[in-house]
């Protein structure tokens, strides 16, 4: 898998997810086999470029491997400037968000809402590509709704604008995350363009990964929700694609060591109070793959205000599965 001058070690990519793909989680997934991990979406609004949340989302200090930052917006000039700012901060790839279905994003015509205005899409893509010397990628959906699937048209616009790679989530904006992803549109795009195509949507196990790759002919796969609480999915898929056999799942001790290391990184990155709060959802996802926790322990994890309290409860939780 090639993006501009960069060759990925693995054709498996961690999807940008708001509130999830921060620096600690990106690094963890890369250690566990992701060839690339894309940041949370970062606003292009000029007045928010120095905001603490924006800086945390785009933080790359200490990031391993390639650094890709996703930007969000509707103004070509602002998007171009945001791209330059993030390249100056260390981004080696700029990704453009045209896939987020969230109401607060689409209500201002950003994210997947941009797909309704192909002329504006062209302006934004050209502005960003011309603003930076690094590869620019695009993540989009199949269209606005099932009656208006125009991803193929936008893929052609993107290729003409100089986009280095395309990621397509196999749902429209109207579908959000309901139902099942469809891959026929991704297959059509792969057949129509010469730039790399990355398939995304409902890839939650090695067998599904193989199925999607075979059907679409895509160059790579992007994994989002399937990695939540399961960063090993990259190793599992890679092993299956290479050998055809299923890799043994990590045992409880391996799981515990990874979780503890992840929590430590979260506390260091965000500070104790915010780190504890951010950690709650990750802990829930991790244990969701093991089995349900007693309410008493789950409450202690979620009500903890400092790392020692939370870690003690997580340690206690693990004793239930050993």
Could you tell me how far CA 71 lies from the centroid of its own chain? 12
Strands of the chain, DSSP E: 2-3, 6-7, 12-14, 36-43, 68-72, 93-98, 136-141, 165-169, 197-200, 220-223
Chain centre distance of CA 218:
17
CB 237 within 8 A of CB 12: yes
Give the single-character DSSP code of 148.
-
Output the CA–CA distances (angstroms, integers) from residue 70 to 15, 31, 43, 164, in the order listed: 10, 21, 9, 14
Give the active site residue among 100, 106, 175, 205.
100
* 29 vs 52: CA distance, rounded Å: 24
Kindly report the number of other CB atoms within 10 A of residue 64's CB atom.
12
Beta carbons within 10 angstroms of residue 156's beta carbon = 14
Nearest to 153 by CA among 198, 113, 185: 185
Sign of the alpha-carbon torsion through 279, 16, 150, 216:
negative
Q: From CA 157, how far away is CA 169, in angstroms rounded?
A: 17
Tokens representing 65 are 């491997």
Nearest one of 93, 28, 109, 18 to 62, comparing CA atoms: 28
Q: Is 100 known to be catalytic?
A: yes
The answer to whether residues 112 and 140 touch, using CB atoms and an 8 Å cutoff, is: yes
Chain-centre distance for alpha carbon 271: 23
What is the SS3 assignment for 150?
A: coil
By annotation, the residues acting in catalysis are 100
């Amino acid at each position: 898998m090639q993006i501009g001058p960069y060759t990925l070690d693995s054709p498996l990519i961690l999807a940008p997810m708001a509130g999830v793909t921060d620096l600690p989680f990106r690094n963890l997934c890369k250690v566990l086999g992701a060839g690339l991990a894309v940041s949370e979406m970062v606003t292009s609004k000029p007045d928010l470029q120095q905001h603490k949340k924006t800086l945390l989302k785009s933080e790359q200090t200490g990031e391993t491997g390639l650094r890709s930052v996703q930007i969000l917006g509707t103004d070509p000039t602002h998007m171009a400037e945001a791209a330059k700012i993030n390249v100056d901060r260390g981004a080696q790839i700029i990704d453009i968000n045209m896939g987020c279905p969230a109401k607060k994003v689409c209500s201002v015509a950003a994210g997947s809402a941009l797909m309704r205005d192909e002329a504006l899409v062209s302006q934004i893509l050209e502005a960003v590509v011309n603003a930076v010397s690094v590869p620019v990628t695009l993540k989009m959906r199949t269209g606005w709704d099932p009656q208006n699937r125009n991803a193929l048209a936008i893929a052609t616009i993107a290729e003409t604008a100089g986009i280095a790679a395309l990621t397509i989530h196999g749902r429209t904006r109207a579908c959000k995350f309901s139902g099942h992803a469809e891959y026929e549109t991704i297959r059509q795009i792969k057949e129509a363009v010469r730039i790399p195509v990355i398939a995304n949507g409902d890839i939650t196990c090695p067998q599904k990964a193989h199925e999607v790759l075979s059907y679409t002919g895509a160059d790579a796969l992007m994994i989002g929700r399937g990695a939540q609480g399961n960063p090993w999915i990259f190793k599992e898929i890679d092993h299956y694609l290479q050998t055809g056999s299923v890799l043994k799942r990590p045992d409880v001790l391996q799981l515990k060591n990874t979780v503890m290391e992840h929590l430590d990184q979260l506390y260091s990155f965000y500070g104790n109070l915010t780190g504890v709060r951010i950690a709650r959802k990750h802990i829930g996802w991790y244990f969701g793959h093991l089995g349900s926790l007693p309410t008493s322990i789950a409450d202690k994890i979620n009500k903890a205000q400092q790392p020692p309290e939370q870690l003690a409860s997580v340690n206690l939780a693990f004793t239930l599965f050993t």
